[in-house]
Amino acid sequence: MAQKFKTPINIEELAATSTEAFTVKLDAESTERIIITADGKMSWGSGAATGDTTLYRSAANTLKTDDTFEASAGVVTMADADTPTASLSDGALAVDTSGDKLYFRSGGAWILAGGSGATSEVSSIKADGGTSAAWVRYYVTADGGSSSTYPYA
């Protein structure tokens, strides 16, 4: 039966950051479904095996998982009213809300992703409908070179 706590729960005097501070395990299962250690790291598992998914603080202002993160309703990333200037890690995404542009961070620099006004053409794909009911032409530009259509004419 679930219990109600009306005051804060404090867990103190733990021996190390890896010490389990909070766990949840069902009676019929062999392993905890969730473990929170003293350093705040959270691990989740099936209850039949050791936790396989983690979420933790990896550095100042950084929340990390070593696993896959899925967001059914989408992920909100950095939004800026102009070209982003923040020094973030490579792989970061940013949306220019005033210019309707998407940027990604690579090689320590912000790169405008494809489209009109792009300073670097990055893997843009366009379908134009083609001239036959059986085929649609796709133009793929990944390196600034020429485009091709399939089937090749």
- pLDDT cut 70: percent of the chain above it: 72
pLDDT tens digit string along 124-145? Answer: 444 555 555 545 555 555 555 5
For the stretch 78-116, pLDDT in tens is 777 888 888 888 888 888 888 888 888 888 988 888 744
Q: How many CB atoms lie within 10 A of CB 62?
A: 9
Half-sphere exposure of 147 (CA within 13 A, CB side): 14
Structural tokens at position 110: 């912000």
Q: In the chain, what are the domain boundaries? A: 20-61, 78-112, 123-153
